[in-house]
Amino acid sequence: MFAKHWKCLFVLCAFALVAAMSLANVAKAGVMTYNDWTHVAHSTADDLAYLKTVTLCDASKSPALKPDSQPVSALTDGLWQLNNDQPGRSVFGSDGGTKYRVSIDLTAIYSISEIDSFSWHTGSRAPQHYVVWGAASPSVIGTGLKFSSYGYDSLGAAGYARVAQVDTAQNSGQWTASITGSLGNYRYLVFDIKDSGISADGTFYGEILVFPEPATLALLGLGGLGLIRGRKRK
C-alpha cells in the first residue's frame, strides 16, 4: 500500500512538472544586477549548466576565439579564474570587434530563475556585453544558428525568446552579471557576445551558471525520491 502511494505521488509530480513546462515559452523581464564576485551566492551544486554541452554556433570572423583562449566548453567546467589575466581559464573572442554565438544545452526544459556570467581582467577585457535568448523546443539549434540566417540579437525566427541584454559598463576588474526573476521555460540558452566595449578586444569570460525556480528543484527532487522508494520496495 505504501509503495502504491509513492507511485501515485510520483505520477502526480510528473504531471505537475510537465504542466509547468508546457506554459508559454515567453521571456519575462528579469532584474539585472552587476557586482564583483563577492556577491556570488551559488555553487555548481545547483548549477543546471555545469558540465553541459556548449556549442560555438557561429562568429562574425574566423577564428572566433583568440588562439590562447580556452574552448567554449570552459564556460561550464566549474573552473574559475584565479587572477586578473588568466587565458588558461578564460574564453575570449578574437580582437577586432568579433561577435560570436554560443549555445548551452541544459538537456531538459527547466523554469529558469537566474543566469550568472563571470569575467575578470585587469584591463579592457573585463566588461560584459551580450544578449541571451532561450527556447524549449526551437526549430534550429547549435551550428544551424548562423549569423547569415539569424543576425546578432535576432533569433525570434528560430523559435527563441529574448531573455535579457547585459552591459556591465566599461570598467576593468571582476564582474558578475546576474539576471534574476521568472525568466521562462528553456532547454537551450543562446548567448550573442560582442567585444568588451572599451576596445575591440574580447572579454575574458570565466563561467556561466544557470539556476532553476525553487519549485522546479522541489518537483525533481520529490520525483527522484519516489523512484528511489519504488526501487527499494522491489
Report d(CA 169, CA 171) in Å as an integer.
6
What domains are defined for the chain?
24-212 (2.60.120.260)
Distance CA 132, CA 179 (A): 10
pLDDT tens-digit map of 199-226? 778 999 999 999 999 876 555 554 444 4
In the numeric block, the cell 534550429 is attached to 140
| Residue 212 bridge partners (DSSP) | 112
Phi, psi of 220 (to 5 degrees): -65, -40
DSSP state of 65: B
Instruction: Give 80-119 pLDDT, tens digit per residue.
Output: 899 999 999 999 999 888 999 999 999 999 999 999 999 9
Q: What pTM value is reported for the model?
A: 0.81
Residue in this structure with the C-alpha cell 560582442, named with its chain if needed:
194
Show the CA angle centred on residue 21, arms to residues 102 and 51, nearest 5°.
35
- The terminus-to-terminus CA distance of the chain in angstroms comes to 13
